[in-house]
C-alpha cells in the first residue's frame, strides 16, 4: 500500500482540501476513496466528504479553528487507514447497444483512429473500468481508462442534446449520460438502464472504487431491457471484488 505525501489546504472557513499528486491514476484514486471511508467512519464534526480523481474536500459542521491540529489528526488517520477501513466493492455489468442508431460518433472514432467499428466495440467491452468519481450530472460515472486505440478528444463544439443513456468517450475516459443534456463526449452506444433514481435509498447504484464492464446487446434486447427497467424488473448483474 502506497503512502502518498498529501497536501492540506484551507478551502474556506468550513472546508479542508486534501490533495494527492495531480493525475488520473487508479492507485491514487483508490487511495483517495479509502481515505474518504476512513474519515467518514472515524472523524467527528464532519458534514460531508467529497472525492475527485486526486483530492478530497472535507466539510466540517463548524468553523475550522486549529488547522495544524486537524492536519496532524488526519495525517495520523491516513497512515492507519488500511486497518480502519473495509469496504465492499462491486463489478457492475452494464448492457450497451452499439447499433448505428445509437453510435452517433463511432464512424468519427473509426476514421480518426484508423480502426474498424467492430474493433472499437470489442476494445470498449474488453476493458474493465474503474469508477473514479460521480458528477457532473447526478449519476454520471467518470470511468477509466479507455484503450489507447479508441481514445478521442472531447468535441470542440459540444452537442446541445446528448441522449439519456449515451455511452461516450473523451480522451482516456468513458462514461454514461444519466439524462439528456448538453455534452462534448463522443457517443458510441447507449444503455437502457437507469443510472440515477432519486426515489431509491442509494440513487446511484455504483460508487467510486467500483468497477464497470460493458457488454454488447442487440436492438431487440435493448427494447426488452428498457421495458423491464420501466417496470422496475431489471436487475443489474454485479460481482463482489476481492482485490
Measured distance CA(96)–CA(214) in Å, rounded: 6
Percent of all residues in the chain with a pLDDT value above 70, rounded to a whole number: 96
DSSP string computed for the chain: ------EEEEEETTEEEEE--SS--HHHHHHHHHHHHHHHHH-SSEEEEEE-SSEEEEEESS----HHHHHHHHHHHHHTHHHH----EEEEEEEEE--TTT-TTHHHHHHHHT--HHHHHHHHHHPPEEEEEE-SSTT-EEEE---GGG-BPPPSS-EEEEPTTEEEEEBTEEEE-SS-EEE-SEEEEE--S-S--TTSSSSSS--TT-EEEEEEE-HHHHHHHHHHHHTT----EEEEE--
Q: Which range, of 27-36, 119-128, 142-151, averages the lowest pLDDT?
A: 27-36
Looking at residue 160, what is its pLDDT? 95
Percent of all residues in the chain with a pLDDT value above 90, rounded to a whole number: 72
Angle between helices 67-79 and 26-42 (to 10 degrees): 110
In a domain, 69, yes or no: yes
Looking at residue 79, what is its pLDDT? 87
Instruction: Single out the residue in 84, 104, 121 at which a domain terminates.
Output: 84
Looking at residue 54, what is its pLDDT? 93
- CATH number, domain with residue 186: 2.40.100.10
Q: Are residues 32 and 131 in the same domain?
A: no
Q: Are residues 171 and 115 in the same domain?
A: yes
Contacts of 60 (CB under 8 A, 6+ apart): 14, 15, 16, 45, 46, 47
pLDDT tens digits for 79-137? 887 655 567 789 999 999 999 999 999 999 999 999 999 999 999 999 999 999 898 88
In a domain, 220, yes or no: yes
Residues across the chain: 243
In a domain, 170, yes or no: yes
Q: Are residues 176 and 192 in the same domain?
A: yes
Mean pLDDT of 160-177: 96
Measured distance CA(132)–CA(27) in Å, rounded: 10
* Structure-model confidence comparison of residues 108 and 199, the more confident one: 108
Instruction: Single out the residue in 63, 84, 105 at which a domain terminates.
Output: 84
| Highest mean pLDDT pick, 37-46, 77-86, 161-170, 232-241 | 161-170
For the chain, what is the domain count? 2
Looking at residue 7, what is its pLDDT? 94
Looking at residue 82, what is its pLDDT? 67
- CATH number, domain with residue 67: 3.30.1360.40
Instruction: Single out the residue in 40, 65, 84 at which a domain terminates.
Output: 84
Looking at residue 42, what is its pLDDT? 79
List the grid coordinates of 59.
466539510
Looking at residue 151, what is its pLDDT? 97
How far out from the chain centre does Cα 184 lie? 17
In a domain, 62, yes or no: yes
pLDDT tens digits for 35-63? 998 898 877 789 999 999 999 999 999 99
Structural domain of 50 = 7-84
Q: Are residues 147 and 236 in the same domain?
A: yes
Amino acid at each position: 500500500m502506497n503512502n502518498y505525501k498529501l497536501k492540506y489546504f484551507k478551502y474556506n472557513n468550513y472546508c479542508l482540501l486534501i490533495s494527492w499528486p495531480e493525475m488520473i491514476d487508479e492507485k491514487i484514486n483508490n487511495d483517495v476513496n479509502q481515505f474518504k471511508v476512513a474519515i467518514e467512519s472515524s472523524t467527528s464534526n464532519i458534514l460531508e466528504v467529497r472525492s475527485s480523481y486526486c483530492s478530497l474536500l472535507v466539510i466540517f459542521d463548524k468553523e475550522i479553528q486549529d488547522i495544524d491540529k486537524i492536519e496532524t489528526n488526519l495525517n495520523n488517520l491516513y497512515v492507519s487507514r488500511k486497518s480502519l477501513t473495509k469496504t465492499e466493492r462491486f463489478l457492475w455489468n452494464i448492457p450497451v447497444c452499439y447499433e448505428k442508431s445509437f453510435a452517433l460518433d463511432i464512424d468519427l472514432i473509426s476514421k480518426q483512429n484508423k480502426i474498424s467499428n467492430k474493433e472499437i466495440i470489442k476494445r470498449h467491452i474488453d476493458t474493465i473500468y474503474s469508477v473514479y468519481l460521480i458528477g457532473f450530472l447526478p449519476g454520471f460515472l467518470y470511468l477509466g481508462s479507455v484503450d489507447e486505440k479508441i481514445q478521442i478528444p472531447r468535441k470542440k463544439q459540444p452537442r446541445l442534446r446528448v441522449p439519456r443513456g449515451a455511452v461516450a468517450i473523451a480522451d482516456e475516459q468513458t462514461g454514461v449520460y444519466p439524462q439528456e443534456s448538453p455534452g462534448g463526449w463522443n457517443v458510441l452506444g447507449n444503455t437502457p438502464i437507469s443510472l440515477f433514481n432519486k426515489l431509491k435509498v442509494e440513487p446511484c447504484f455504483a460508487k467510486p472504487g467500483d468497477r464497470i464492464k460493458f457488454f454488447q446487446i442487440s436492438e431487440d434486447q435493448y427494447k426488452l431491457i428498457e421495458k423491464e427497467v420501466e417496470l422496475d424488473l431489471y436487475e443489474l448483474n454485479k460481482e463482489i471484488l476481492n482485490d
